[in-house]
Amino acid sequence: MNNSKIDLLVVGAGPAGLGAAIEAAKRGAKVLVVDENARPGGQLFKQIHKFFGSKEHMAGTRGFTIGEKLLQEAKEHGVMVMLNTLAWGIFKDNVVVVKKDDQSYSIQARKVVIATGATENGLSFKGCTKPGVITGGAAQTMVNIQRVTPGERILMVGTGNVGLIVSYQLMQAGADVVGIVEAAPTVGGYDVHANKVRKAGVPIYLGHTVVEALGANEVSGAVIAPVDCNFQPKKEEAFQVECDTICLAVGLSPRIDLALNAGCEPIFSPVLGGHMPWHDQRMRSLTDVYVAGDVAGIEEASTALEEGKLAGVAAADDLGLLGSEERDTIYQEIESRLNKLRSGLYGDKRRVAKLELMEKGCENHEQR
Amino acid sequence: MSKDKLVADIYCIEPIPCNPCETSCPFGAIQVGDDITNLPVVDEDLCRGCGICLAICPGLAIRLIQDGYKDGTSLVAFPYEYEPIPEKGQTVRVVDMQGNELSDATVIKIQKPLKDDPTRVVYVEVDSAVAAEVRSMKRIKEAAEEDIVICRCEEIGMKEILTAIEKGDRSLNAIKRRTRAGMGLCQGKTCSKMISRMICEQTGIAAQDLEPASKRQPVNPITLGTMASTADRPLILDLDDLKRELES
């Protein structure tokens, strides 16, 4: 039974969560957003670089400015945002239990959007638990939010966009990047990002991996080695680099814990970061539960925002808040923006993976 | 006093009420008597140097000794209850009563004199000049190869995960149940992918055929008090009710 007057509860105030909240609230839904962090915006507020895309994606705008705009918009449409609030469980009939100040509150909503984002992948090697080994996201939070550099001489592991951007931003913050290690034979992220660090003279060790963090009590260097075709390090060709920080930017995984507890079906896609909850073309994963953003497959912030908008519109639609005229155009508009973001050499793979995922799920659903 | 055959040498020095050496000797070579606080006396003619008394003595206060084992060397045996057990032919450092290292010695054999007890007796060939002082050997410590931590929260290393896979674990849940990897504070957010990769590498299972580990609520660590506190509150169905609850 669901007599809630809360139309939509959104877990996660990143771009996807805020996008969903705004679109639903715009159409008259009463919306609550909860986020475990002290400030909303997800990762947007540490994105001090300008985003790609086109005008409709706010391209050329820096991430934190997009975050500010979203917050302003959410406020204008009467979205209630609860911060420092952890959604720790989801139960029957859309009851989400949240924790704030050591107190739990059970909140029922008619629809739920799960936009819990991602977690950073780990990498284990000898000495990887020494102080000085951190993740790329942690380094980015330190330099761009807390305004401290994690170290003076940093070895980055991973050439995805996170590894490249964070390397660049660490240098902007005054640190040196002594090199970037990448196990694959090619750079993972955009070449323009790679060129930003190349121009700064940072060596990129392609086909290499880090095998050991050196140092008695904290990192004082790293041993890196080329990898063979099975990605196993060739130890006889290993060499040392001096550094005080080893920064791991080796990919993200959808944060699916809450979604799976809601009953969503896990689907696997290596392109999109591993297991993620199945969803249909309108981000619906269960009758009343939608997923959006990185939790629904690792992409990037602009895509997360559009997916969030799609989920918000779909929720409003399912709540009967969408006019029939609008229905004819709005989905196409969002879909067209999403397709643009998922085009080109990099984006196309994600678009295909996303389609496969939805179809795979359909088959599984039918089999049941 | 020269021993030309292998015999027990007891250096039991206190009147402890204890006589397993006497009762365990199959040859009646050790005498304690009715007053079991008496110090044991060995009849070297009857002693066959079998080593049973070494393994049973609760004080580890018996050794075997044979002078003139080879030219200039003696054979000494002592109980040893540490891991790892030395190997035949291995060079070890023999020590005196104070643990002072006397010299190198070669392990001749390892025995386990008692069927149901793990105490080993280590036989070493040692320079006769120090044989009289030898009581034991320096404990062998394996140069513990630093393991690579996979699950930080529960401190589970790569070796333990590999062993679990070797024993037949083929899923994240199986490894979680066997080793606790993934059961800690972060609930597998850091280690799951690494463990998946290890399963795939070791067994040839494709990544898409592995199920994610079970996710349980609460999805983040919270106290039982926090969890229970919802019981005191009504189910919140309205944003105004929520605001009121937050203020109260």
The complex's ipTM works out to 0.89
User: For residue A368, is pLDDT > 50?
Assistant: no
Please indicate if any CB of chain B lies within 8 Å of the CB of A270: yes
pLDDT at position B1 is 54
Shortest CA distance from A87: residue in chain B: B219
Pairing of strands A284-286, A289-291: antiparallel
Same domain, A192 and A77: no
Please indicate if any CB of chain B lies within 8 Å of the CB of A231: no
Helix axes A301-318, A63-76, angle to 10 degrees: 20
From A216, A233, A248, give the residue that closes a domain.
A248
Mutate to test the interface with B, among A257, A271, A278, A295 (most CBs of B within 10 A): A257
Q: Give the residue numbers spanning the domain of A319.
A: 8-119+252-367
Tens of pLDDT along B203-215?
999 999 999 999 9
Size of interface A-B (CB pairs under 8 A): 118
Q: Are A10 and A34 in contact (CB under 8 A)?
A: yes
The CATH number given to whatever domain includes residue A177 is 3.50.50.60
Between A6, A103, A124, which is nearest B239 by CB? A6
Mutate to test the interface with A, among B145, B147, B148 (most CBs of A within 10 A): B148
The tokens describing B84, both together, are 């790892």
Shortest CA distance from A30: residue in chain B: B239
User: For residue B200, is pLDDT > 70?
Assistant: yes
Q: How large a percentage of chain A has pLDDT more than 70?
A: 98
- Asked if the Cβ–Cβ distance from A88 to B218 is below 8 Å, we say yes
pLDDT-based confidence at residue A66 (cuts at 50, 70, 90): confident
Q: How far is CA A67 from the centre of its chain?
A: 14
Selected residue with higher pLDDT from A63 and A276: A276
Same domain, A231 and A145: yes
Same domain, A81 and A145: no
Span A202-212, average pLDDT: 97
Q: Which long-range contacts (CB under 8 A, 24 or more apart) does B42-50 make?
A: B42/B7, B42/B8, B42/B9, B42/B10, B44/B3, B44/B7, B47/B7, B47/B8, B49/B5, B49/B6, B49/B7, B49/B8, B49/B77, B50/B26, B50/B113
Span B133-161, average pLDDT: 90
pLDDT-based confidence at residue B218 (cuts at 50, 70, 90): very high
User: For residue A258, is pLDDT > 90?
Assistant: yes
Instruction: Indicate whether A304 belongs to any domain.
Output: yes
Same domain, A92 and A205: no
pLDDT-based confidence at residue B23 (cuts at 50, 70, 90): very high
- CA nearest A77: which of A14, A27, A4, A11? A27
Between B152, B217, B230, which is nearest A106 by CB? B230
Span B43-63, average pLDDT: 95
Span A285-295, average pLDDT: 97
Tens of pLDDT along B64-120?
999 999 999 999 999 999 988 999 999 999 999 999 999 999 999 999 999 989 999
Same domain, A129 and A231: yes
Q: How many domains does chain A have?
A: 2
- The model's pTM: 0.78
Span B178-197, average pLDDT: 94
Tally helices (H) and strands (E) across chain A: 9, 21
Could you give all domains of chain B from N- to C-terminal order, each with its CATH number?
A: 7-137 (no CATH), 149-224 (1.10.10.1100)
Between A82, A89, A129, which is nearest B152 by CB? A129
Span A7-33, average pLDDT: 97
Q: Phi then psi for A34, rounded to 5 degrees?
A: -115, 145
pLDDT-based confidence at residue A367 (cuts at 50, 70, 90): very low
Please indicate if any CB of chain B lies within 8 Å of the CB of A30: yes
Span B146-158, average pLDDT: 92
- Which residues of B have a CB under 8 Å from any CB of A? 146, 148-150, 152, 158, 187, 189-194, 196, 207-208, 210-212, 215-220, 222-223, 225-230, 233, 235-239, 242-243, 245-246
Partners of residue B236 on adjacent β-strands: A107
Q: How far is CA A363 from the centre of its chain?
A: 27
pLDDT-based confidence at residue A57 (cuts at 50, 70, 90): confident
User: For residue A317, is pLDDT > 80?
Assistant: yes
Same domain, A257 and A336: yes
Q: Tokens 């079991």 sit at which residue?
A: B36
Instruction: Indicate whether A91 belongs to any domain.
Output: yes
* DSSP state, residue A194: H
pLDDT at position A365 is 55
Q: How large a percentage of chain A has pLDDT more than 90?
A: 83
